[in-house]
Amino acid sequence: METLAQIRRKLEGAEDLKTVVRTMKAMAASNIGQYEQAGRALSDYYRTVALGIVAYFHEREELKRVNKKKHKVTCAIVFGSDQGLVGQFNNTLTDFVKLTLNKLEGEKIIWAIGDRIKTVLLDRGFTLRNLFHVPNSVDGITPLVSQILLRSEESIKINEVDQIYIFHNQPNNSGIGYTPVKQKLLPLDEDWKLNLSELKWPTKIPPQVAGGEKATLLALIHEFLFVSLYRASAESLASENASRLLAMQRAEKNIEELLENLNRKYHSIRQTMIDEELFDVISGFEALKKK
């Protein structure tokens, strides 16, 4: 049977753990705000850049349909987490990646963003070629995106890969939970152009390109690739912190239940000890009376 001292130590440990969980919950809630704000800002900018590309291709036919290869090397850039306590965040995304890539022909390689997602991907049998670390703040997203862009352009140029997809978790519109999504990043072929053509120019006035046309197109494409990766990273970080917040809420509830049980047990044992002491006093008093 546990003693009062042992239960008291457990209570103190549970209270300390509850403080840590509350701190992590507050940090996650704070981080969600900044990453969601960055994601919303990038969504507006993404549309602006896409409309710029639509304006350029108005009455132009520069891009040609790429010949289909029998054997393609597909690279999947997967945005996961470096840290734990995120529930099924990495597992859900990995299952989505596996389901999607199984439908594609050819070889598949992975560029993982995050040590935790790397472990899950390797367990699923994927081949890992590159590992990047998850940014700790909004300011860290730009350097990460620059690294990925440089590596992507090099891989396409030397024919190391034929196409690149982005996979990440995206916050739900309800603000609760997340959904795994994908986007084709490269190559920028006719299919990519057709997808962009779904955007309609917002006015009746035909768009015109000012300045050098080639330089304008290159600048727009660079911004399109940059904003696609930046938005994916921001949305992934917002989803990660939302998942951590939910995990911390569950942990806090479990700790509160544990504290309630420990307090009940503590008071029960204490009351039993008091009853025993009173019984001993009464028994002693009765014995003295008989004498």
DSSP notation for 196-236: HTTSPPSSSSPP---S-HHHHHHHHHHHHHHHHHHHHHHHH
Identify the pLDDT of residue 188: 76
Identify the pLDDT of residue 60: 60
User: Poorest-confidence range of 29-38, 68-77, 128-137, 242-251?
Assistant: 68-77
Query: What are 170-218's pLDDT values in tens digits?
Result: 988 766 789 999 998 888 777 777 777 677 777 777 677 766 777 887 8
Position 240 pLDDT exceeds 90: yes
Query: What are 92-137's pLDDT values in tens digits?
Result: 999 999 999 999 888 999 999 999 999 999 999 998 999 999 999 9
More confident site: 94 or 156: 94
User: Poorest-confidence range of 145-149, 214-218, 260-264?
Assistant: 214-218
Are 163 and 74 in contact, with CB atoms under 8 Å apart?
Answer: yes
Share of the chain above pLDDT 70, in %: 91
pLDDT band at 66 (very low <50, low <70, confident <90, very high): very low
Identify the pLDDT of residue 119: 94
pLDDT band at 149 (very low <50, low <70, confident <90, very high): very high
Instruction: Tell me the backbone φ, ψ of residue 171, rounded to 5 degrees.
Output: -60, 140
Q: How many residues does the chain have?
A: 291
Share of the chain above pLDDT 90, in %: 34
pLDDT band at 64 (very low <50, low <70, confident <90, very high): very low
Order of strands, sheet of 128-132, starting from the edge strand that comes earlier in the sequence: 128-132, 107-113, 73-79, 163-171, 178-186
Query: What are 268-278's pLDDT values in tens digits?
Result: 888 888 877 77
CA distances from 64 to 191, 194, 196, 271 (A): 9, 11, 15, 84
Position 62 pLDDT exceeds 60: no
Identify the pLDDT of residue 285: 67
